[in-house]
Chain A
């Protein structure tokens, strides 16, 4: 026991949290490896990475927003808008690279505008992004007249379905974005300001930091990442769906909280969120492999979300 306490005291609270989420993930993986002969195979593990990538990417953005004690409910709509804008440009003969770029920028722009409205109007993020969710979904429906954009070019489908050294490209994008945004949050001044704004907004403001700018940046990040995920999604099914991504913002919240992000703001790590998204991905994949009924899957995922946050809360109380 004394060894354990010594070990524990060496760890920062953050790394302890990451370690506990990671052990949760490993226990799940061990469980599925024992119960299904198909789980622990290279092919299936790569499939899990592919299946988790979309949720993981949007969850990175949601983590940034949650750390500032906000929430982004427009993520799912942003995914749809980016998918249909890129799709429409492509079927109208524009270069794939250009189309994807415009799609992704559309998401960043929506995030930017939401951020500006939140700080300039002094409005709750919940309300502003709830409005944005509806407006952006509406725009996606209006510009497509509700009809999916199909017949997207083969070169575009590579983003979602291609492989590089046997690793699915969406998984590679997921890892790249995790590294980049983890660096921004942990190693830069901006990262410090983001944590500070979430812990105590007034104090941060008084210390001379432009918190408005910080808030606008996190919503822009979230919009940008949602749009990246939306483009990958459109590419995987070779179709821009105006109905895509409905409810995904909540999967993003779930991944972040499983990974140790606090809804009260000021706490959270990108690597934790990545592991949180993998927990959900492994759970879905494993339960599918065991042919567990779709109805039970919903219940089990809900239980895991509550248990993860509860375990975290107990630790806090002990402190």
Chain B
């Protein structure tokens, strides 16, 4: 036991020496002689969307000198409690900035306030939180994107007929905005389009497949589907393909993945609303860094959405 402790101490000393010598090579000094530690917390660690946010953040980190990034996310499903715990850990380890994508807008607000009180700047990514204590909020305007999806679908189906929605998590701010952006726009501009069913698949593709199949059975004259995230879109596409209704049903989806790109290339999916998660991560790190350097940063940033179709899918890949 004693020997083990000695070895551990030795390893610690050596590694801290290596650390010190490595640090001396840094060019731009921001805060004393310590590296900046940024912590990025996303909603989960599996979805390609979050991996893309992470990749964007890492890209910006690589461009900066002496800034380190730690990535954390609940390992399974969306879990605000786990996110709260991770944020508390970041506060306790005195991170220099926290970038967080809150999976629940009310649940995460108190811990964001605690980070603010501890003097740690917080950048909010992707979904809002019910607090003013952040330096910058970078997100897709999901409500506007939902309205754009409604316009795109209306154009495909000649502005009339029955359509149905398969959404992701009931209660998530992003899901609500994408759904109400769509339904409000239909109500406002397209009186001949009827939304016959709204189901929630929680991102489970098999569940979305079953729901879309049942919706088609109940509504043989359905002309359009709107999928509010990657999982629901892929499930809908499979269902429509299985039912042999690719020619009669138009589908507008959300997000980008290899399955979605394949569906567009095979003309099953008409269009997908694609956010710029990469930009959220990249700009998020930039905003945190600029804030620490003492520069003014924009409080609200819309990172925008692109509509990908068979015509431009090659350029987006």
User: Which residues of A are in contact with B by a Cβ distance under 8 Å?
Assistant: 36, 38, 41, 43-44, 47, 51, 54, 137-138, 141, 146-148, 150-151, 161, 233, 236-239, 241-244, 246, 284-285, 288-291, 293-295
Residues of chain B lying within 8 A (CB to CB) of residue A41: 217
Residues of chain B lying within 8 A (CB to CB) of residue A284: 210, 214
**Closest residue on chain A to residue B199 by CB atoms:** A294
Q: Is the CB of A44 within 8 A of B206?
A: no
Asked if B297 CB lies within 8 Å of chain A CBs, one says no
Size range of the interface on B?
A: 35 or more
Asked if B273 CB lies within 8 Å of chain A CBs, one says no
Residues of chain A lying within 8 A (CB to CB) of residue B217: 38, 41, 43-44, 47, 289
Q: Is the CB of A294 within 8 A of B198?
A: yes
Q: Is the CB of B210 within 8 A of A243?
A: no
Residues of chain B lying within 8 A (CB to CB) of residue A137: 75-76
Q: Is the CB of B218 within 8 A of A36?
A: yes
In the bound complex, what is the Cα–Cα distance between A36 and B234 (angstroms)? 27
**Closest residue on chain A to residue B230 by CB atoms:** A148
In the bound complex, what is the Cα–Cα distance between A221 and B215 (angstroms)? 35
Quick one: which of A141, A151, A294 contacts B46, CB cutoff 8 A?
Answer: A141
Q: Is the CB of A147 within 8 A of B218?
A: no
Asked if B259 CB lies within 8 Å of chain A CBs, one says yes
Per-position contact with A for B14-48: 1 when CB-CB < 8 Å, else 0? Answer: 00000000000000000000000000000011101
Residues of chain A lying within 8 A (CB to CB) of residue B146: none
In the bound complex, what is the Cα–Cα distance between A161 and B70 (angstroms)? 42
**Closest residue on chain B to residue A52 by CB atoms:** B210
**What would 16 more interface pairs be, CB under 8 Å, given A44-B217, A237-B206, A294-B170?**
A38-B218, A51-B210, A54-B206, A141-B45, A141-B46, A148-B46, A151-B258, A236-B238, A237-B235, A239-B205, A243-B46, A244-B204, A244-B206, A288-B215, A291-B196, A294-B198
Asked if B211 CB lies within 8 Å of chain A CBs, one says yes
Residues of chain A lying within 8 A (CB to CB) of residue B170: 294-295
**Closest residue on chain B to residue A157 by CB atoms:** B238
Q: How many A-B residue pairs have CB under 8 A?
A: 87
Q: Is the CB of B214 within 8 A of A288?
A: yes
Q: Is the CB of B206 within 8 A of A233?
A: yes
**4 nearest A-B residue pairs (beta carbon):** A288-B214, A146-B46, A289-B218, A237-B205
Given A38-B218, A147-B48; A246-B75 close (CB under 8 Å): no
In the bound complex, what is the Cα–Cα distance between A147 and B210 (angstroms)? 23
A149 → B minimal CB distance (Å): 10
In the bound complex, what is the Cα–Cα distance between A138 and B198 (angstroms)? 33
Residues of chain B lying within 8 A (CB to CB) of residue A38: 217-218, 220
In the bound complex, what is the Cα–Cα distance between A117 and B35 (angstroms)? 46
Residues of chain B lying within 8 A (CB to CB) of residue A241: 205
Asked if B197 CB lies within 8 Å of chain A CBs, one says yes
In the bound complex, what is the Cα–Cα distance between A151 and B258 (angstroms)? 8
**Closest residue on chain A to residue B214 by CB atoms:** A288
Quick one: which of A239, A242, A243, A289 contacts B214, CB cutoff 8 A?
Answer: A289
Residues of chain A lying within 8 A (CB to CB) of residue B44: 243
In the bound complex, what is the Cα–Cα distance between A163 and B209 (angstroms)? 17
Q: Is the CB of B46 within 8 A of A288?
A: no
Given A150-B259, A285-B214, A288-B199; A243-B206 close (CB under 8 Å): no
A-B CB contact pairs (8 Å), 21 listed: A38-B218, A47-B214, A51-B213, A54-B206, A137-B76, A138-B75, A146-B46, A147-B46, A148-B257, A161-B242, A237-B234, A239-B234, A241-B205, A242-B46, A243-B46, A243-B203, A244-B204, A246-B77, A246-B204, A288-B197, A294-B170
Given A44-B217, A141-B46, A148-B257; A237-B199 close (CB under 8 Å): no
Quick one: which of A146, A147, A237, A243 contacts B209, CB cutoff 8 A?
Answer: A237
Instruction: Tell which of A138, A148, A236 has the most Cβ of chain B within 10 Å.
Output: A148
**Closest residue on chain B to residue A286 by CB atoms:** B214
Given A47-B213, A237-B206, A238-B238; A146-B51 close (CB under 8 Å): yes
Q: Is the CB of A239 within 8 A of B259?
A: yes
In the bound complex, what is the Cα–Cα distance between A44 and B218 (angstroms)? 10
In the bound complex, what is the Cα–Cα distance between A161 and B209 (angstroms)? 12
**Closest residue on chain B to residue A281 by CB atoms:** B210
Asked if B134 CB lies within 8 Å of chain A CBs, one says no
Residues of chain A lying within 8 A (CB to CB) of residue B213: 47, 51
Residues of chain B lying within 8 A (CB to CB) of residue A148: 46, 48, 257, 259
Asked if B190 CB lies within 8 Å of chain A CBs, one says no
A-facing residues in B72-105 (Cβ within 8 Å):
75-77
Residues of chain B lying within 8 A (CB to CB) of residue A51: 210, 213
A-facing residues in B162-213 (Cβ within 8 Å):
170, 196-200, 203-206, 209-211, 213
Asked if B248 CB lies within 8 Å of chain A CBs, one says no
In the bound complex, what is the Cα–Cα distance between A308 and B258 (angstroms)? 43
Q: Is the CB of A294 within 8 A of B200?
A: yes
Quick one: which of A150, A161, A243, A285 contacts B262, CB cutoff 8 A?
Answer: A150
**Closest residue on chain B to residue A51 by CB atoms:** B210
Residues of chain B lying within 8 A (CB to CB) of residue A146: 45-46, 51
A195 → B minimal CB distance (Å): 33
**Closest residue on chain B to residue A43 by CB atoms:** B217
Q: Is the CB of A236 within 8 A of B206?
A: yes
Residues of chain A lying within 8 A (CB to CB) of residue B259: 148, 150, 238-239
In the bound complex, what is the Cα–Cα distance between A242 and B209 (angstroms)? 18
**Closest residue on chain A to residue B211 by CB atoms:** A288
Residues of chain B lying within 8 A (CB to CB) of residue A239: 205, 234, 259
In the bound complex, what is the Cα–Cα distance between A293 and B199 (angstroms)? 7
**Closest residue on chain A to residue B45 by CB atoms:** A146
In the bound complex, what is the Cα–Cα distance between A141 and B199 (angstroms)? 28
